[in-house]
């Protein structure tokens, strides 16, 4: 296995998940801004290198991931019926079929891994501040529950830019507080006029709690501060992307 992260969360045994890092991949010029295991095909990297990295990733998956065209909004997409080369617009991938790999790409935004306690449906939400503010988590869980065999949803918060580094303007803070006054707790002043540090992990936990999700793990890994393992757009500007991947295997929570 590559230097990847396997979520530690109380998911059923048939739920499989991983998060890639920037380690590994095709050898290239050490001065490349995209570095090792870039999986983003929209960031200006050599398309051939990206495809080779994706091919290497697929060796560890049941099938080709169902990639999305991510637009920082609030639309979840059921990926069971799209082809592996389809790229529908959306910011969460949902599946209820074994072997279908939900996937999103990130380089600071928060990947929210989701499954139900029955192991009958999975989803990953791409939760930057725009997606969080517009309800990507709520919309995704609502869609999951329409087909879930259990109303209890479990979440794992993957690596994202940490609360000590994610600087935003007062207008971003206002957007969250207007819809939920408790969101104020997720912002701290930076010392610069009109600037705040935003805690994506806390904002996600608040949104999850609003829709009855209280089994939430993860939320400790910072993409910005860990230069060796993670790409970070805020830190580096143009850079690569990591993948968050989630799928079901035959079986159940008791299997």
pLDDT digits (tens, 9 = 90+) for 180-236: 999 999 999 999 999 999 999 999 999 999 999 999 999 999 999 999 999 999 999
Share of the chain above pLDDT 90, in %: 86
Q: Which pTM was predicted? A: 0.94
Chain centroid, CA 65 distance in Å: 14
pLDDT of residue 30: 60
CA–CA separation, 82 and 34 (whole Å)? 29
The pLDDT assigned to 151 comes to 85
Q: Which residue has the tokens 């079929």?
A: 97
Task: Tally Cβ neighbours within 10 Å of residue 221.
Answer: 18
Expressed in angstroms, the distance from the first to the final Cα of the chain is 23
Closest CA to 153 of 124, 111, 182, 193: 124
CA–CA separation, 4 and 229 (whole Å): 9
| Greater pLDDT, 108 or 83 | 108
Judged by DSSP in three states, 56 sits in: helix
| Class of the CATH-defined domain 15-160+211-248 | alpha beta
Confidence band (pLDDT; 50, 70, 90) for 80? very high
Instruction: Please check the confidence at residue 252 and state whether its pLDDT lies above 60.
Output: no
Taking residues 66-89, report their average pLDDT: 89
């Amino acid at each position: 296995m590559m230097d990847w992260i396997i979520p530690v969360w109380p998911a059923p045994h048939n739920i499989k998940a991983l998060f890639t890092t920037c380690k590994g991949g095709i050898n290239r010029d050490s001065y490349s801004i995209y570095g090792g295991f870039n999986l983003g095909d929209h960031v200006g990297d050599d398309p051939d290198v990206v495809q080779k990295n994706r091919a290497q990733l697929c060796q560890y998956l049941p099938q080709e991931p169902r990639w999305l065209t991510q637009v920082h909004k609030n639309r979840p997409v059921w990926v069971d019926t799209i082809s592996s080369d389809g790229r529908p617009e959306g910011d969460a991938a949902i599946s209820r079929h074994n072997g279908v790999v939900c996937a999103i790409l990130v380089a600071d935004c928060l990947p929210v891994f989701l499954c139900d306690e029955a192991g009958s449906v999975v989803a990953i939400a791409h939760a930057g501040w725009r997606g969080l503010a517009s309800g990507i988590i709520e919309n995704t869980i609502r869609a999951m529950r329409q087909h879930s065999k259990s109303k209890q949803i479990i979440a794992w918060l993957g690596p994202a830019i940490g609360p000590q580094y994610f600087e935003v303007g007062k207008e971003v803070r206002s957007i969250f507080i207007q819809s939920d006054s408790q969101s104020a707790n997720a912002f701290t002043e930076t010392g610069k006029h009109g600037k705040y540090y935003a805690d994506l992990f806390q904002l996600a936990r608040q949104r999850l709690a609003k829709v009855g999700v209280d089994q939430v793990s993860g939320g400790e890994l910072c993409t910005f501060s860990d230069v060796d393992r993670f790409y970070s757009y805020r830190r580096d500007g143009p850079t690569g992307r990591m993948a968050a991947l989630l799928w079901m295997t035959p079986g159940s929570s008791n299997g």
